[in-house]
Structure 1
Amino acid sequence: MSNYRIVLERRSTGYSAYSPDLPGCASTGATREKAEANMRDASEFHIDGLREEGFPVPEPRAR
């Protein structure tokens, strides 16, 4: 799988995460590490879903 940039934001209840290159794909976690791991899983699931439905998979662009 390609490397997609993950943006983490601290929240009062933990962390949220999203990727600018994968619209609609986001995750959360109680810790930074958990949010990162959850986002990796969410990204893989999101990309698999795009492929199954015949949609194009965005190339990583964020630096």
Structure 2
Amino acid sequence: MRYMVIVEKGESSYGAFVPDLPGCVAVGETEQEVIELIREAIQFHLEDLQNEGQPIPQPVSKSTFIEVAA
């Protein structure tokens, strides 16, 4: 499955979350680190859902960029 991940840059770190998997988040010092951590978090999140007998949410979120005049 392919889930959309939102990566945000903070003052001293990066954060990431998955809109289709509420509660699936990660924080890292670099963008590369947070990408690796969110990948692991997604895998663990899906494993936990499976172990609890919960359905696996299908990825449905999409993103696009909208250009506006500055």
Deviating 4+ runs (over 4 angstroms)? none
Match of 1:58 in 2: 57
Unpaired runs of 5+ residues, structure 2, are 63-70
TM norm structure 1: 0.95
The within-5 A match list for 1:9-48 is 9-48=8-47
Match of 2:65 in 1: none
Residues 11-62 of structure 1, C-alpha deviations (whole Å, 9 max, x = no match): 1121000000000110011000110110000000000000000011100001
**Please, what is the CA RMSD of the aligned residues?**
0.6
Unpaired runs of 5+ residues, structure 1, are none
- Which entry has the higher C-alpha Rg, 1 or 2? 2
**Letter of the 2:32 counterpart:** E
Identity percentage of aligned residues: 35
How many pairs align? 62
**Higher strand share goes to which structure?**
1
TM norm structure 2: 0.86
